[in-house]
Chains A and B, each alone.
Chain A
Amino acid sequence: EPEVTQTPSHQVTQMGQEVILRCVPISNHLYFYWYRQILGQKVEFLVSFYNNEISEKSEIFDDQFSVERPDGSNFTLKIRSTKLEDSAMYFCASSEALWQYFGPGTRLTVT
């Protein structure tokens, strides 16, 4: 069964550094999403992407964040200048219709 994949599984970075989190959605899916989950808390929506543009974004997704689909398979989340409070598990998801399939996550630790 096809799955969403994410790399790296764990990223440690210093405050103020840029990070890029990478995702490979399921190949026939058209909708892509990023969510984050701070340890012990609920999953929070960041952004959705369809037809090569952002279709929806939350208040969390400020100017420090950007997304890109650089080729036919990858979907990336960039955080330009990381803050301590960006430490979380970041999940990529993709969907063809209503069902959203989640990747295994990237644990981002900002020190």
Chain B
Amino acid sequence: GENVEQHPSTLSVQEGDSAVIKCTYSDSASNYFPWYKQELGKRPQLIIDIRSNVGEKKDQRIAVTLNKTAKHFSLHITETQPEDSAVYFCAASRKTGNQFYFGTGTSLTVIP
């Protein structure tokens, strides 16, 4: 089955700096890669996603890149703010209705 690895497990940045979280996957059949943000005690919320036919996608301060050949994808947050502090999970999936395979999470702390 699919194995998703995520690094780093913890990340601290100064407010205004950029944060990068990286994930790798093992199943070449995976073609959909969402990112979730989970604040303490709350539900995971989808913040951005990318499909395998696209190399990069951007939404305001958040961007995701995908390298299918190397089987890795990354989340980039620019101009970080304290409210970006949360645990971020990457995931991989094959198609609609299939399970998401989650990474182990990155705890991001933005220091004011």
Interface residue ranges, A against B (CB under 8 Å): 4, 31, 33, 35, 41-45, 48, 50, 55-56, 58, 91, 95, 97-105
Given contacts A35-B100, A43-B102, A104-B43, 8 further A-B contacts (CB under 8 A): A31-B96, A41-B104, A42-B104, A45-B102, A56-B99, A98-B93, A102-B36, A102-B43
Other-chain contact of B102, A42, A98, A104 (Cβ < 8 Å)? A42
Q: Which residues of A contact B98 (CB under 8 A)?
A: 48, 56
Task: Answer yes or no: B73 CB below 8 A from chain A CBs.
Answer: no
Contact B99 A42 (CB under 8 A): no
Closest chain B residue to A45, Cβ basis: B99
What CA separation (Å) do A33 and B44 show in the bound complex? 14
Count of A-B contacts judged by CB separation below 8 Å: 56
What CA separation (Å) do A77 and B100 show in the bound complex? 18
What CA separation (Å) do A68 and B14 show in the bound complex? 47
Could you show 13 A-B contacts with beta carbons less than 8 Å apart? A42-B103, A42-B104, A42-B105, A43-B44, A48-B99, A95-B97, A98-B34, A98-B49, A98-B51, A99-B34, A100-B46, A101-B46, A105-B43
Chain B 20-58 residues near chain A, CB threshold 8 A: 32, 34, 36, 42-46, 49, 51
